[in-house]
Amino acid sequence: MSGQTHQSPRPALDEFCKRFPEVEVYEHNPRRLYLSIPRERLTEACRFLHEERGMRLSICTGLDTREGFEVLYHFSEDSTGTLYNLKVVVPKDDPRLDSQAGWFPACNWIEREMHELLGIEFPGHPNMEPLLTSDTDWDPNKHPLRRDYERRAEAHGR
């Protein structure tokens, strides 16, 4: 565990660490926790946070890094005002992540969006239609938020 020491008792975090011993916790500040877990345990972790601890999904963020695609599930524990950010790294040569939309409707649109913008596959999603470009002739193989997307590469050489 890195970052600051615990300021107040955090039953949800303690139980999470017990159940997922492989978790890496980074406490950026007392109300912003980042929890890295392997992608195989994502469904279990999401179910724990939402169903057992009653947390609300704020949103998911997908981003393309050198190590792979990072997907963050931002869960908000509204009783304490703490954000539990679940972090999963998906390798670029196998961009697949179990879909949570089947049991948690809040994940439905954002998984469709990440599929469209980053090209991550979500097996088990009930309706994997493009969300933002469904009525356009956008090329389904172009993913604007990938680092190799040509416009950004030209603009910044990143």
Partner 1 sequence: MADNSRRIVPIGPFHPLQEEPEFFKLVVEGEKVVDLEIHLGYNHRGHEFISPELTYDQIPFLVERICGICSNSHPLACVLAIEDCAGVKPPPRANYIRSIIHELERIHSHLLWVGLAGHFIGYNTVWMWAWRYREDILAVFEMITGNRNHYAANKPGGVRRDISKEQVPEILAALDLVEKKTMMLTKAVLDDPVIRSRLEGVGILKKSDAIAYSTVGPTARGSGVPWDVRHDDPHCAYDEVRWDVVVAEEGDVFAKARVRLLEIFESVKIVRQCLENLPDGPIQTRIEEIPPGEGCGRTEAPRGEVFHYIRSDGSNRPLRHKVRAPSYMNIASNVVAVRDGSIADAALTLAAVDPCYCCTERMAAFEDGRQKYTWQDLLRLSWQKTEQIREKMRR
Please give the residue ranges that form the binding site for partner 1 (CB under 8 A). 28-29, 31-32, 34, 54, 56-59, 61, 63, 65, 72, 74, 76, 78-83, 85, 104-106, 108-109, 117, 130-136, 144-145, 152, 155-156
- Rg (C-alpha) for the chain, rounded Å, is 17
Q: How far is the CB of 49 from partner 1 (least distance, A)?
A: 12
Smaller CB separation from partner 1, 72 or 88: 72
98: its two tokens: 């179990």
Q: How far is the CB of 107 from partner 1 (least distance, A)?
A: 9
Smaller CB separation from partner 1, 40 or 58: 58
Smaller CB separation from partner 1, 7 or 134: 134
